[in-house]
Each structure stands twice: as structure tokens, then as C-alpha cells.
Amino acid sequence: MSALYLFQLGFGVQQPAGIVVSDDLMAMVVKILFVAAAAIYAVFALVMVRQIHVMRHTLFTSLSGVVRILGYVQLVLAGAVLIGFITLL
């Protein structure tokens, strides 16, 4: 059993019924849409990291370091999703 199959099982993803987007062109279009959306979100995550930097220098608190780390974690996740969409879909 592949990791993807187990992941889908965990999510309860249903096997497609009815009309399935199996046509190569439609699949490519859908993939492009997913990749574009992921790219936009990655840009958003990058902006958020930059703004966290600004916020931290406006107001410095004991939680500032944690916030910065969370920002970078989100950026890494966004990048990983983008790469995953490009390579796995």
C-alpha cells in the first residue's frame, strides 16, 4: 500500500463516482489551477513572514521568537505543498 493511498484512506477520500476527470487535458488544467493557487498562497506566506519581521520590530515581546518560527513553518509548508502539487499531481 502506498503512502498516498494510506493518506487518502485516513482522509476518507471516496473513490470517484460518475463522471471522472480522467481526460489528460482536463487533468492538466486542474493541476495548473492547483499549482497556481499554491503559488499564490506561497507568496502570501512570504509576505506574512516579512510582516512578522516588521511586527516584531514594532513590538517586542517574549513570544516574538515563537511567532517568527511559526511564520517560517507556514512558509515551509506552503513551499512543500507547492512542490507536492507540481510533482505529485
Partner 1 sequence: MPDIFNADNHQLDKDKNDAPAADGSGPPRSGRPTGQPVASTETVKFPHRHHHDEGGGPPHPHRHVDEYSEVMRHEVASANPLAAFQPKPVAVFFSTQVEGEQVLLLLRKSLVTQVRWVVIAVLLTLVPVLVNSVGMLSFLSASFQTAAFVFWYLIVTGFIFESFLSWFFSVYIITDERIIDVDFVSLIYRNISSAKIDNIEDITAVSGGAVQALFNFGTVRIQTAGTKAEIEFELVPQPSKVTRLLNELILEEEREKLEGRVN
**Number of Cβ atoms within 10 Å of the Cβ of 86:** 13
Residue type, 80: A
Site string for partner 1, 5-44 (x = CB under 8 A): --xx--xxxxxxxxxxxx----x--xx--x--xx--x--x
Answer for which of 6, 36, 43, 53 binds partner 1 (CB under 8 A) is 53
Q: How many residues does the chain have?
A: 89
Cell (9 digits) for 68: 517568527
Q: How far is the CB of 1 from partner 1 (least distance, A)?
A: 13
Cell (9 digits) for 42: 506561497
What are the residues binding partner 1 (CB under 8 A)?
4, 7-8, 11-22, 27, 30-31, 34, 37-38, 41, 44-45, 47-48, 51-63, 67, 70-71, 74, 77-78, 81, 84-85, 88-89
